[in-house]
Amino acid sequence: MVDDNPKNEIVGAEDAQQRRIKYNQAVRSARLVTLLLSSVNFSVNRKALDPDDADADVKPTYGGRIKQVAFDAKEGNLLCTVEWTVDFKYKRKRFVRCSADYDVAYGGLVGFEESTIALLAENVARPASYAYFRALFANLDWSAELRSPPLPMVTFQPKI
């Protein structure tokens, strides 16, 4: 059955607009309390590399996700854990893996719904922690003498 009722589109657009307004209010109210490295795992498998293949086709993959979100609505505090990973593969074998967890805490969020706070964690806490992960990986890469290119600068587009 096809719904030809344009009122549904209007209601959906109004809901999206209200969600944006609440999200923007939360972003303005949020105060970063701390951003801490809570765990790191770095491994290099040099046996997976062919020393004679200087022009190796190495494929890095990286990503970040929110592992955990804890929100105290009464106190207005958000604590979330963000996990970042990067893998380098050579001929389908992983030879470098780096993963790190960051605990990110925000205050000043009294009066906001959990759905708005989940958006804040994804759109604000995750990008805030990426710069720290990028610097951490650069340091580990240098220490292991991998000489890989820096992780890219990333532009995050809010998903509201």
What's 62's domain CATH number? 3.10.420.10
Using a cut of 0.95, tell me whether the model's pTM lies above it. no
More confident: 6 or 145: 145
Task: Answer yes or no: is 120 within a domain.
Answer: yes
* High-pLDDT (> 70) share of the chain, %: 82
* pLDDT grade for 60, boundaries at 50, 70 and 90: confident
Count structural domains, the chain: 1
Task: Answer yes or no: is 38 within a domain.
Answer: yes
Residue closest to 136 by CA, chosen among 33, 69, 42: 42
| 121's tokens | 């964690």
Task: Answer yes or no: is 53 within a domain.
Answer: yes
Task: Answer yes or no: is 1 within a domain.
Answer: no
Residue 46 belongs to domain spanning = 6-143
Task: Answer yes or no: is 62 within a domain.
Answer: yes
- What angle is formed at CA 120 by the lines to CA 117 and CA 124, rounded to 5 degrees? 155
pLDDT above 80 (res 32): yes
* 136-157 b/e (C-beta count within 10 Å ≥ 16 → b): bbeebbeeeebeeeebeeeeee
Task: Answer yes or no: is 152 within a domain.
Answer: no
Task: Answer yes or no: is 71 within a domain.
Answer: yes
Task: Answer yes or no: is 153 within a domain.
Answer: no
